[in-house]
Amino acid sequence: MSSAPVRLKIDFVSDVSCPWCAIGLHALEQAVQRVKDQVHVDLHFQPFELNADMAPEGEDVTEHLQRKYGAPAEQMRRNQEAITARGAALGFTFDMDKRSRIYNTFDAHRLLHWLQEEGAGGQQRALKHALFTAYFTHGENPGDHAVLLRIVRELGLDEARARAILESNEYADDVREREAFYHQHGINSVPAVIVNDRHLIQGGQPVEVFEEALRKLAAQG
């Protein structure tokens, strides 16, 4: 007689404008599918802003990355090709030609936090995926309220409630508090996958790495 799956709580700390976060999420989800007979995962999305001071209009992505990381254009091109290939292998489409700007993502995080507060884990996950697709596949601004409300509408979420949140400062303090919490606990890059509040898996790891880690943690009980 097989034992019941072990429950693992996972906090996925990430930004919706982080390509390795999109890769990490898809890899983690595929790993979760592989271990579903052994592990039941309770997944929560936590906020992290790569560019918390970014102006609403955003910034040219090439200029931003060159200033931030000092990488030459050729190296940036190779990095983008590697990211695109990793995404494709996981079933996610990066269209780097459409991703021309980096944007402020704070309001997207407020909407994600709203769904977590509502206990709507499945809806929070759907919104996270839709935000990644809007930005990385279609080149849309994930800080634009019109874009956010269209996504909410397409997902069948409460558009009036989402609009009220966006037109106020609701959940702003909550998001900043969560961001500060992770910074204070040493999370300075994302994605960061935290299992049961104590085990950290850093970065957009391959499916096999996530799978091995989940099996090992489940075996520990």
- Distance separating alpha carbons of residues 9 and 73, to the nearest angstrom: 40
Q: What is the mean pLDDT of residues 115-123?
A: 89
Hey, what are 104's tokens?
A: 């402020």
The pTM (predicted TM-score) of the whole model is 0.95
- Average pLDDT over the chain reads 94
Question: How many other C-beta atoms are found inside a 10 Å radius of the C-beta of residue 66?
Answer: 15
For residue 144, pLDDT over 50 is answered with: yes
- The answer to whether 142 touches 131, Cβ cutoff 8 Å, is yes
- Distance separating alpha carbons of residues 85 and 114, to the nearest angstrom: 33
- Domains of the chain, start order: 6-219 (3.40.30.10)
Hey, what are 20's tokens?
A: 């390795």
At 42-64, the pLDDT tens digits run 999 999 999 999 988 899 988 88
- The answer to whether 178 touches 47, Cβ cutoff 8 Å, is yes
pLDDT band per the 50, 70, 90 thresholds, residue 187: very high
Distance of CA 180 to CAs 50, 142, 173, 176, 194, Å? Answer: 13, 22, 10, 6, 16
- Distance separating alpha carbons of residues 118 and 209, to the nearest angstrom: 32
- Distance separating alpha carbons of residues 77 and 71, to the nearest angstrom: 10
So what's the pLDDT on residue 2? 57
